[in-house]
Chains A and B, each alone.
Chain A
Amino acid sequence: MNELLEFIENNLQITYILILAIFVGIEVIKSIPAVLHTPLMSGANALSGVVIVGAILVMLHADPTDYIALSLGFVAVVLGVLNVVGGFAVTDRMLQMFKRKK
């Protein structure tokens, strides 16, 4: 419990952003019609590929001789990019199919 309070004290800004982001997320997504649930999910899935930023940071900070860190980072970047590119591309493909009656 003390650790939690300490964390909040030391990271007040992050805590605020965290809480506000939860509300923004709920508000933005709440009213999405069922028609779009699948594209929403695959789009959101692509967004979670934002971990790629962390994976790139791992590689940038790694010592060029630290092969373990470099190879783990490499795999992390590949998987992250796969998630991002594949996710956005397939969402786009799906949304192209949605047509409205003229």
Chain B
Amino acid sequence: MGILLNIIYLIATVTFIVGLKMLGHPETAKKGNLIAAAGMGLAIVGTVFVHEQQVSPLIYILIGAAILLGSIIGWLIAIKVEMTKMPELVSLFNGFGGASAALIGLVEYGKNVNNATQSTTIVSAIIIGAITFSGSLIAWGKLNGSLKSVVRIPFYNIINNIIIIGIVIFATFMVATGVDSKLLLYALLATGLIYGILFVLPIGGADMPVVISLLNSLTGIAAAITGILYNNMVMLVGGILVGSAGIILTVAMCKAMNRTLGSVIFGAFGGAAAIAGENKTLGSIKSTNPSDAAIMMNYANNVVIVPGYGLAVAQAQHIIHELEELLTKKGVNVKYAIHPVAGRMPGHMNVLLAESNVEYNMLVEMEDINPQFGNTDIVLVVGANDVVNPAAHNNPASPIYGMPILDVENAKHIIVNKRSMNAGYAGIENELFYNSKTSMLFGDAKAALTDLVAELKNI
């Protein structure tokens, strides 16, 4: 029986690696996901049935009920969720994984107090699981808007650092003394939960893609640690794969925003001082109307659309696809330029556009589209601001200086759709709007694009 279970775990581990690899190509991604899911199913069924232990029927019934309950809820959430809500959902599920690891640690602690290695893994699982759980819930709250403001307790940096050092000392003490106290165990859990809250609470909305990636990675690490505890290879390898994926995405997101991981966790975005000094006049703006914009686009050869999260907020994904189809039909070459942090999680904008039936090969990544802006007749910026702000290139005083941006100012004309002249997410003025090549198309994205499409149809 032992060998059978190990072979099952081995197969599951291979499906995880192959599945993740296949997730990396649009053609094979769907199959890869199903392969990994099948492997996971196999590992779960194997764990429940393939062993020689005497287990009372009650326990089997409980396990069955728990699996059924979790499956139904998980499935219902998955088929109902809107694609704009993906970041919230990933955070929420992620928190559940972390909670699961922490709960396992709570049960196992009492049995392993005399073994330093085991109790080290257990307290680590509790701490990391607790941090990911509460941290993910806070991220979830921030993303769905129920936690609106950025809360900054004075000296939160120092407080957070003191807490994390305290947790490490506390955990070391528990392992070293082998104390078997439920009270201390729950106290450890509580400090982990508190740290998770304080860790995510001060982080601004614009930094959310980084935080989600990081929390995702931490859950993987918690799973891997639990794997060490049970000497279970499928948990170890599965957890590490997730940990690596999360770290790579975290680094990629930091790079895309020109932030170090440290500054996301410990620093405020820009800070009030940097923004306050920016109040100089940047010149005059030129506004346009849907009819003029439609004529310009109708006679262009190359049009690039730059969608930002504002597009999704205005629910204008479908109308932008209609615009793109219409232009293509008229012989205009249309592409979408996607900044790596467009949306609220890595790759979010791609999913939102895919949902509106935009073919994925029309979505061009930043590095590939930037050299093409020189040949672009018109760039249409919808609901994006900071990712097209030239201050990132030419204003060393700007908080976003050095951030890789879409170089839309190299195009012949730029049309920017915005509701008003308010500054972007980072609260920074955008001199692109004052560029002589730029025309502002004011209005709600959905309404403005609908008018634009109607005008285009009349030409």
Given contact pairs A49-B40, A94-B86, A97-B83, enumerate 7 new A-B contacts (beta carbons under 8 Å). A28-B21, A30-B248, A45-B216, A77-B66, A80-B97, A98-B30, A100-B359
CB atoms of B231 and A39 under 8 A apart: no
Known interface pairs A44-B245, A81-B74, A89-B78; A76-B26 also in contact (CB < 8 Å): no
**How many whole Å from A26's CB to the nearest CB in chain B?**
5
A3: B residues at CB distance < 8 A: 116-117, 120
CB atoms of B351 and A38 under 8 A apart: yes
Most interface-central of A34, A52, A88 (chain B CB within 10 A): A34
A sample of 26 inter-chain contacts (CB < 8 A) reads A14-B228, A29-B24, A30-B248, A33-B26, A35-B363, A37-B347, A40-B347, A45-B216, A46-B36, A46-B40, A50-B234, A53-B230, A54-B104, A68-B107, A70-B59, A73-B62, A73-B107, A74-B65, A75-B99, A79-B97, A82-B74, A83-B74, A89-B78, A90-B89, A94-B86, A94-B351
Mask, A38-60, CB within 8 Å of B = 1, is 11111111111111111111111
CB atoms of A56 and B47 under 8 A apart: yes
B249 within 8 A of A: yes
- Among residues of B, the one whose C-beta sits closest to the C-beta of A95 is B30
Which of B218-226, B289-297, B439-447 is found at the contact surface with chain A?
A: B218-226
CB atoms of B240 and A41 under 8 A apart: no
Q: How large is the interface on B (under 10, 10 to 19, 20 to 34, 35 or more residues)?
A: 35 or more
- A93 and B223 CA atoms in complex are apart in Å by 25
**How many whole Å from B256's CB to the nearest CB in chain A?**
9
Which of B151-159, B338-346, B383-391, B430-438 is found at the contact surface with chain A?
A: B338-346
Q: What is the interface of chain B, defined by CB distance below 8 A to chain A?
A: 16-17, 19-21, 23-27, 29-30, 32-34, 36-37, 40, 43-44, 47-48, 51, 53, 55-56, 58-59, 62-63, 65-67, 69-71, 73-75, 77-79, 81, 83, 86, 89-90, 93-94, 96-97, 99-101, 103-104, 106-108, 116-117, 120, 212-213, 216, 219-220, 222-224, 226-246, 248-249, 252, 338, 340, 343, 345-348, 350-351, 354-355, 357, 359-363, 365
- A98 and B97 CA atoms in complex are apart in Å by 27
Known interface pairs A29-B248, A53-B44; A62-B59 also in contact (CB < 8 Å): yes
**How many whole Å from B248's CB to the nearest CB in chain A?**
5
B362: A residues at CB distance < 8 A: 101
A83: B residues at CB distance < 8 A: 74, 93-94, 96-97, 100
Known interface pairs A34-B350, A35-B347, A99-B354; A82-B73 also in contact (CB < 8 Å): yes
CB atoms of A14 and B231 under 8 A apart: yes
A1 within 8 A of B: no
CB atoms of A86 and B74 under 8 A apart: yes
A12 within 8 A of B: no
- Among residues of B, the one whose C-beta sits closest to the C-beta of A76 is B103
Q: A80 touches which one: B100, B232, B361 (CB < 8 A)?
A: B100
Known interface pairs A39-B23, A77-B63; A86-B44 also in contact (CB < 8 Å): no
CB atoms of B67 and A77 under 8 A apart: yes
Known interface pairs A41-B245, A54-B235; A10-B103 also in contact (CB < 8 Å): no
